[in-house]
Amino acid sequence: MKFRLGQKVVLRRNNGPMAGHPGSRYYHGYSISEVPLGSKATIYNIRHEDMICVTFENKRYGTMYVHPSEVDLAEEQRTVTEHEQRKINSQLEEMLSDDTTAAETSNTDTMSEKAFKPKFNVREEFAVWIRQEFPQLQEYAERNQEYTELTERKAEVMESARKAYEHAIKTTNFCVRQEFRNKFDQLEWHYNTDFPRYLYDMITYIEKISANLTDEVMHYGTMLAEK
């Protein structure tokens, strides 16, 4: 099952033996005596396919990493997830549709510059905006070369990145907050050198942890999230 950020889950199994731990432990080493089965939690970060960060409703249990096989969706989540996700995806797709229409009606061969004007989710819209405005970012980042169009708008991009960073700090759990801080600090530090590389690093991280930038949402043929 593919989980998303913000979903409510229940701890159902402890699969410590899968990772070489005793049967009294969870996959990532936590003890079942410290966090009992049946505990309810909310997903705050998905590091990779084997590591999900959850924070528990019972504050005594705090936050811990679990393997996807150890949790199930909470009953109340099963009834609302599909409807709410369709609503969020619809909002994001509408925003992308507006941007695409504007580009298609342009009389120029290149897409006109668009200012960053987020509507509802600053950090995710920042990633979408960067992909739209600088479609060759990955190429320049991998070659570690200057991207002229990006250089000309670097101050604008940096200010937009700051907005995305501030939104992330306010709306994410500590599992991801520090990583956002590191990504933004690196971008600031490399403002005059290797800027495309560290900007690409920041937006791919946003895409990786964002619930809405899934493989169902595409822009100009580019998938906005890692599978």
Helix 75-104 with 122-133: angle, nearest 10 deg: 30
Q: Taking a C-beta distance cutoff of 8 angstroms, is the pair 83, 123 a contact?
A: no
In the chain, the DSSP E strands lie at 8-11, 40-48, 51-56, 63-66, 71-73, 218-219, 222-223
Q: Residue type for 105, please?
A: T
Q: Residue type for 118, please?
A: P
- Using 50, 70 and 90 to split pLDDT, how confident is the model at 176? confident
Over 90: is that where the pLDDT of 193 sits? no
Per residue in 143-158, pLDDT (tens digit) is 888 899 999 999 999 9
- What angle (nearest 5°) sits at the alpha carbon of residue 121, between those of residues 118 and 125? 55
Average the pLDDT over 176-196 and give the result: 88
Average the pLDDT over 36-65 and give the result: 87
Q: Taking a C-beta distance cutoff of 8 angstroms, is the pair 219, 114 a contact?
A: no
Over 80: is that where the pLDDT of 78 sits? no
Selected from 3.30.700, 2.60.120, 1.10.1060, 2.30.30, the CATH number assigned to the domain covering 8-73 reads: 2.30.30
Task: Tell me the CA distances in angstroms from 62 to 9, 66, 180, one per residue in order.
Answer: 15, 13, 21
Rounded to an integer, what is the distance from CA 147 to the centroid of its chain?
24
Q: Taking a C-beta distance cutoff of 8 angstroms, is the pair 62, 54 a contact?
A: no
Average the pLDDT over 67-96 and give the result: 71
> Taking the domains of the chain in order of start, what are their residue ranges?
8-73, 85-223
As a whole-number percent, the residues of the chain with pLDDT over 70 amount to: 76
Q: How many CB atoms sit inside 10 A of residue 145's CB?
A: 12
Q: What is the pTM of this model?
A: 0.48
For 14, the enclosing helix (H) or strand (E) is none
Over 90: is that where the pLDDT of 71 sits? yes
d(CA 89, CA 215): 11
Q: What is the mean pLDDT of the chain?
A: 80
Per residue in 86-139, pLDDT (tens digit) is 665 566 566 666 655 554 554 444 446 789 998 878 888 999 999 999 999 999
For 126, the enclosing helix (H) or strand (E) is helix 122-133
3-state secondary structure of 10: strand
- Using 50, 70 and 90 to split pLDDT, how confident is the model at 50? confident
**Paired tokens of 32:** 């079942």
Q: How many CB atoms sit inside 10 A of residue 187's CB?
A: 21
Q: Taking a C-beta distance cutoff of 8 angstroms, is the pair 63, 55 a contact?
A: yes
Over 90: is that where the pLDDT of 59 sits? no
**Where is pLDDT greater, at 208 or 91?**
208
What is the per-residue burial (b if ≥16 Cβ within 10 Å, else e) of 53-76?
bbbbeeeebebbbbbbebbbbbee
Over 90: is that where the pLDDT of 39 sits? yes
3-state secondary structure of 156: helix
Report which DSSP code applies to 60.
G
